[in-house]
Amino acid sequence: MDAMIVVDMQVGLRDGAPKHDLPNVLDRINRLTAMVRRRSGTVVWIQHCGGAGDAFEPNRPGWLFLPELDRHPSDVVVQKTLNDPFAGTALQAILEEVAPARVLIAGWATDFCVDATVRSTVSHDHVVVVVSDGHTVSDRPHLDAPAVIRHHNWVWSNLISKRSIRVVPTAELLVALGRP
């Protein structure tokens, strides 16, 4: 069984510059979370809680999950205040209880919270599968969004770890499980 962590896919991400390929990323996340649930896995939604006045301030419109996401009552929500969703949260205890064979990771922002999630998940001794086309970011001052995404996919696939880290596109994950 798999677990899937979806990082910070909240209304507040729409503030600022456009996020690369966002409609397609949302579709891929929905397809993969449906697959995880069909296979009796667990979907974990990470919800960033920003400070007062932040786009992700709790109980404000930007804090809510994007309405395009197919969320289910059986899904788990973990609220965080830092980039790393394991820091000061119950995420590790949840994953220990679920005991997934692997943890799929997708979401926003590639270079901050998704990166922290990938690194921390593998550091917490889980087998990680990063959805290579399941995370997004906006252009940065020094790199456009597609370059940021390519760079991080490369870095993650080359991390030195005692556990497996694979970087795999959605289509490959769905085909491998018989759900194109």
Is the bond into 109 cis (omega within 30 degrees of 0)? yes
Using pLDDT thresholds of 50, 70 and 90, give the confidence band for residue 163: confident
Structural Rg of the chain based on CA atoms: 15
| Tokens matching residue 100 | 């997934």
The pTM of the full predicted model, rounded to 2 decimals, is 0.97
Q: What is the DSSP letter of 124?
A: T
Share of the chain above pLDDT 70, in %: 98
Using pLDDT thresholds of 50, 70 and 90, give the confidence band for residue 176: confident
pLDDT at 28 over 60: yes
**How do residues 81-112 score in pLDDT, each as one tens digit?**
999 999 999 999 999 999 999 999 999 999 99
146-179 burial, b at 16+ Cβ within 10 Å, e below that, comes to eebbeebbeebeeeeeeeebebbebeebbeeeee
For each of the domains in the chain, give its residue range(s) and CATH number, in order of start. Answer: 2-176 (3.40.50.850)
Q: What is the mean pLDDT of the chain?
A: 96
**How do residues 41-76 score in pLDDT, each as one tens digit?**
999 999 999 999 999 999 999 999 999 999 999 999
Cite the DSSP H helix spans in 73-160: 91-98, 115-123, 145-157
- Virtual torsion, Cα 87, 41, 8, 152, nearest 10 deg: 80
